[in-house]
Amino acid sequence: MPSTRKVAVISLILTESALFSVFLVAYLFYMGKSLNRPFPSEVLTFPVFATVALLSSSVTIVFSEMALHRGNKGAFHLWWAVTIALGAYFLWFTGTEWHHLIFTDRLTLATNVFGTTFYSLVGLHASHVIIGLFLLTLILVLSLLGKFPADHTEHIEMISWYWHFVDAIWIIVVTVVYIISVRY
Amino acid sequence: MNPETLDDNFQIPAPERIGQERGSLTRIVQEMVFTVDHKTLGLMYIASGLLFFVVSGLMAAMIRIQLSVPRNHFLDPDVFNRLFTMHGTAMVFLVGMPIIFGFANYLVPLMIGARDMAFPRLNAFGFWVFFFSGLLLYFSYLGAPGLYAAGSAPDVGWFAYSPLTAKAFSRGHSTDYWTLSLLLGGIGSIATSINIIVTALCLRCKGMLLVRMPLFVWMFLVVAFLVIIAMPPLSACQIMLILDRYCGAHFFDTQAGGSAVLWQHFFWIFGHPEVYILILPGFAVASEVIPVFSRKPIFGYPVMVAASVMIGFISLGVWAHHMFTVGMTSIGNTFFAISTLLVAIPTGIKIFNWIGTMYGGKLRFELPMLFCLGFLFQFLIAGLTGVMLAIAPFDWQLSDSYFVVAHFHYVLIGGLLYTIFAGLYYWYPKALGKMPDFKLGLWHFILFTAGFHLTFFPQHLSGFLGMPRRIYTYDAGRGWDLWNLISSIGVIFQAVGILFFVFNLIYSYVKGKKAGDDPWDAWSLEWSTTSPPPAYNFETIPEVRSRRPLWDLKHPDDPDWKYE
């Protein structure tokens, strides 16, 4: 019989994918339909460092899990902390980008349909990053305090699956928003 | 207590706390609030659903009183709008969903030989979130007036089209109560559905391959997948509506280049699978009841599984048949007409298989079977009117008329509610240990069926004659008067039928004949436990070798596994 945790996390990923799909479709539907500025081509720049950071965090979390399987708790904590740091950097970068968009470019949810769909889609993703960081930090703290049983490797794996899912969503979002829609 | 052993040191044992004796009211309430047991939660889901059913049914009765004669003054138009909105919303989200999850919760672990669902605490969470969402929706009557002293219960229809729901046109907080209640309820439904998927895929007992799983569990597996795929669009709708109403967003704001029709697309991408989510559990009950009361195994088990899965997939691609009249392209209309006609095929296959099960069988007309027979006949009619509506030009004439109202009440009442009644009478002895009274149930069946057809059949006719839905009154002399009057008279019969039903539930519990473990001579694993089952379900986890494990146990000389 398959593992209950794996099936549960796969189901969760399926349902979250459905949720993201709707906001993605809304973004695609409204591409080029804003009646007033600012338009995506004017204000969007590809977030290189944030993307590299988030995608690297998927690699570092794999390093962390490999260390755990080898029994190297120190390396496990180190790479896990690096993952959290990279995720936190991504959030910080998003925050500064949004600050610039809101106060300098004057783009808000209410400005036009680009603003509405941009902030809701990217914001939905960012909220999942926050949830993921919360879970990752919880694991780190519990493990450092020694409260994490050694045989709970599947719990760690499931949280890393969730993190990989958040990354995969970002790949789709960054392509649609920063590569495709900047032509409008 | 032996008098000889009593001495001065003897202490009468005190209960843990005052009022905590077994069976005391406070103890019962405490156990209900803290329980994570799937059987208790299942009964709580069903009881809550039935409670909301009575309240929402009374709302429908008020609607029918207002419409019984032309130019009636029983209800104001705003009150009428709130009533049909609350009636529809409550029936779908506070009656249909909880009752089907109640059935799933109670029966899925028992049928697969498990001790509980995969995640019992998540199960409890799902129930209480639903229950709170129901209270929240009805609280709108009191809480919604808000700052503008406008608003009461939501009055925007159960599918709340924009731009009516925009801040400018729906002042006060009535729409917000609708939005938040459904957002919460959706979270509960998704949680319960994940639980069902994991339980069915991971906790089956030894020997229960997927191809030996009861059809009841198969259909709920399909339902659960539909929920986790189709509920998020509804959640997305609610988030978008909140952003539009409070953060100045423009999702559905045409003045900013937005599209009000986008709401319809997103809503019906949820809304159509939702009705299959509601009816598939009805199919699940029928697939268990009809074989037992025909004394034959289900006809064509593999095809039944395949048809259910196909229904699940196709139902995700038919949503815009609710939007034939909004002005999509011809290609769009044609695509959805074809996909809607396609979904009727696996559904028809299932009807033939139920009939094939009965053919050549030894029919026993007990209460569950009576309601399943009603289901077959009425769901067939409903399906046929659905196929009629799938033809886009036909729908152009009848969209938003009483013909549509008749169609969906035939599916939901004639189809879903009848199988709910069948399931409640069928598993009543298992859950409560007493047999339901046949005579009371027969009165329920006869009166309710008469009332149901009296109310809803004429609505096909008033629909043909042009009567739109959601109007609070109408002029005399349009040819609608007679049909509306008959329709309203039917409510009396339905109401009395429901009274018999509720009385039966209570009377049989108090005075009914004690039921054994297996009163209907059935074949699935839940009938191997005591009635009611112990908290741990099975003393030892069973091992099965066929689709009908209890048949094998009762007929060791002629077991199913020789033939499967």
Nearest residue in A to B235, CA atom: A19
Q: A18 and B201: CB-CB below 8 Å? A: no
Instruction: State the smallest CA–CA distance between residue B259 and chain A in angstroms.
Output: 9
Q: How far apart are the first and last CA of chain A?
A: 50
Reduced to 3 states (helix: H, G, I; strand: E, B; else coil), residue B206 is: strand
Tokens of B347: 């559904």
User: Domain residues of chain B, as ranges?
Assistant: 18-562
Could you please state the CATH topology (level 3) that the domain comprising B18-562 is classified under.
Cytochrome C Oxidase; Chain A (1.20.210)
Q: Once rounded to an integer, what is the mean pLDDT over residues A105-132?
A: 97
Compute the average pLDDT of residues B116-145: 93
The alpha-carbon gap from B383 to the nearest alpha carbon of chain A, in Å, equals 29
pLDDT band at residue B18 under the 50/70/90 scheme? low
- Model-level pTM? 0.94
CB contact under 8 A, A30 and B258: yes
Token reading at B524: 């699935």
Q: In this predicted structure, what is the pLDDT of residue A148?
A: 81
Tokens found for residue A115: 């603003």
Closest CA to B451 of B499, B405, B407: B499
Query: What percent of chain B is modeled with pLDDT above 70?
Result: 95
**Dihedral pair phi/psi, residue B451, rounded to 5°:** -65, -40
Whole-angstrom Cα distance, residue B537 to residue B131?
26
Q: How many residues are present in chain B?
A: 564
User: How remote is the C-alpha of B360 from its chain's centroid?
Assistant: 31
* Dihedral sign for Cα atoms in the order B194, B196, B197, B202: positive
Alpha carbons A66 and A56: distance in angstroms, whole number: 15
Query: At residue B552, does pLDDT exceed 90?
Result: yes
pLDDT tens for B208-217 read 999 999 999 9
Q: Report CB contact under 8 Å: A108, B269.
A: no
Using the beta-carbon criterion (under 8 Å), do A7 and B248 form an inter-chain contact?
Answer: no
B20-24, B168-172, B213-217, B302-306: least confident range: B20-24
Nearest Cα to Cα of residue A182 among A35, A90, A47? A47
Q: Look at residue B294 and tell me whether its pLDDT is greater than 80.
A: yes
Chain-wide mean pLDDT for chain B? 94
Out of A15, A26, A120, the one facing B190 most closely (by C-beta) is A15
A→B contacts (Cβ < 8 Å), by residue, are: 1-4, 7-8, 11-12, 14-16, 18-19, 21-23, 26, 29-30, 33-35, 108-110, 112-113, 115-117, 120
Which pLDDT tens digit goes with each residue over B196-212? Answer: 999 999 999 999 999 99
Residue range B469-486, pLDDT digits in tens: 999 999 999 999 999 999
Neighbours of A134 (CB within 10 A): 11
Tokens of B249: 């967003």
Q: Residue A80 has which token pair?
A: 């896990």
Residue pairs between chains A and B whose CB atoms are closer than 8 Å: 97
Q: Which amino acid is at B475?
A: D
Preceding omega of A38 cis (within 30 degrees of 0): yes
- In this prediction, residues B477-502 reach a mean pLDDT of 97
Please say if the pLDDT value at position B226 is more than 70: yes
Q: Using CA of residue B493, residue B495, residue B500, residue B501, what is the dihedral sign?
A: positive
Give the H or E element holding residue B294: helix B260-294
Structure tokens at B261: 């029709």
Cα B283 from Cα B291, distance rounded (Å): 12
How far apart are alpha carbons B396 and B248 in whole angstroms? 35
Predicted confidence at residue B146, as pLDDT, reads 60
Phi, psi of B148 (to 5 degrees): -85, 5
ipTM of the complex: 0.96
Is the predicted pLDDT of residue B547 greater than 70, yes or no? yes
pLDDT at B6: 64
Which pLDDT value is given to residue B2?
62
Looking at this protein, which amino acid is placed at residue B138? Answer: Y
Which residue of chain A has the CA closest to B234? A19
pLDDT band at A147 (very low <50, low <70, confident <90, very high): confident
Task: Identify the DSSP state of B6.
Answer: -
Q: Which of A1-5, B11-15, B103-107 has the weakest average pLDDT?
A: B11-15
Nearest to B232 among A3, A19, A26 (CB): A19
Closest CB to B251 among A15, A16, A26: A26
CA nearest neighbour of B219 among B300, B304, B313, B118: B304
Return the closest-CA partner of residue A80 out of A60, A94, A98.
A60
C-alpha A107/C-alpha A119 separation (Å) is 9
Per-residue model confidence (pLDDT) at position B27: 83
Instruction: Identify the pLDDT of residue B22.
Output: 64
| CB-neighbour burial class of residue B508 (10 A; exposed 0-12, middle 13-18, buried 19+) | buried
pLDDT band at B15 (very low <50, low <70, confident <90, very high): low
pLDDT per residue as tens digits for the range A42-82: 999 999 999 999 999 999 999 999 999 998 999 999 999 99
Q: Please write the tens of the pLDDT for every residue from B352-408.
A: 999 999 999 999 999 999 999 999 999 999 999 999 999 999 999 999 999 999 999
Beta bridge pairs of residue B543: B206
Check pLDDT > 70 for residue B19.
no
Task: List residues of chain B with CB under 8 Å from any CB of chain A.
Answer: 118-119, 190, 193-194, 197-198, 201-204, 228-233, 235-237, 239-240, 243, 247-251, 256-259, 262, 266, 269
Domains of chain A: 4-26+45-183 (1.20.120.80)
Average pLDDT over residues A152-162: 92
For residue B429, pLDDT beyond 70: yes
Report pLDDT for B124.
97
Q: Give the whole-angstrom CA distance, residue B189 versus residue B200.
A: 16
**The token pair that represents B412 in the structure block:** 């939901």
Token code pair at residue A175: 């392509």
Q: What residues contact B204, with CB distance under 8 A and at least 6 apart? A: A1, B112, B113, B114, B210, B213
Distance from the Cα of A120 to chain B's closest Cα (Å) equals 8
Instruction: State how far residue A160 is from chain B, nearest Cα, in angstroms.
Output: 19
pLDDT single digits (tens) A77-95: 999 999 999 999 999 999 9
pLDDT bin (cut points 50, 70, 90) of residue B172 is: confident
Q: Which of chain A's residues have a Cβ under 8 Å away from the Cβ of B230?
A: 18
A2 and B202 in contact by Cβ < 8 A? yes
Q: Which residues of B227-264 are buried (b: 16+ CB within 10 A; e: fewer)?
A: bbbbbbbbbbbbbbbbbbbeebbbbbbeebbbbbbbbb
- Is the pLDDT at B17 greater than 70? The verdict is no
Residue B532: is the preceding peptide bond cis (ω within 30°)? Answer: yes
B60: amino acid identity, one letter: A
Residue B110: which residues within 8 A CB-CB, separation 6 or more? B525, B526, B529, B533, B537
Interface contact flag, A14 B236, Cβ < 8 Å: no
Residue B142 has pLDDT above 90, yes or no: no
* pLDDT tens figures, B26-79: 888 888 999 999 999 999 999 999 999 999 999 999 999 999 999 999 999 999
State the average pLDDT over residues B338-345: 96
pLDDT, residue B443, reads 98
Mutation pick from A4, A5, A27, A35 vs chain B, by most beta carbons of B within 10 Å, is A4
